[in-house]
Amino acid sequence: MAHSLSAKKRVRQNEKRNARNRWRMKTLKETLKAFEETILHGKPEAAAEAFRKVASTLDKTAQNGVIHKNTASRKKSRLSARLKLKQAGKVGSTT
């Protein structure tokens, strides 16, 4: 248990930051899940729009330090490759 005033303040700050970071990660996971769903069952245009949302969320999450910028870049690269396959008609085709 924190005793000094500065230690108590640090505990309060950490709780706020932890909650904010949990919210950011939850939002990121939701957008990734929506993109995956669109890749499998949606149209290529909808998948492109979902990719833009995911890329934006990844960049914002990395900018705030929740995930590393290289992690965000790697995920965007892999998602972009899946989007290209979808646009070529090789992923989620209904045949």
CATH number of the domain residue 35 falls in: 1.20.58.110
Buried-state track 24-33, b at ≥16 Cβ within 10 A, e below 16: beeebeebbe
* 94 domain-assigned: no
Q: How confident is the model at residue 95 (pLDDT cuts 50, 70, 90)?
A: very low
* 37 domain-assigned: yes
Q: Report the chain's mean pLDDT, rounded to a whole number.
A: 94
Main-chain dihedrals φ then ψ at residue 91, nearest 5 degrees: -125, 135
Q: pLDDT, tens digit, for every residue of 33-63?
A: 999 999 999 999 999 999 999 999 999 999 9
Total count of domains within the chain: 1
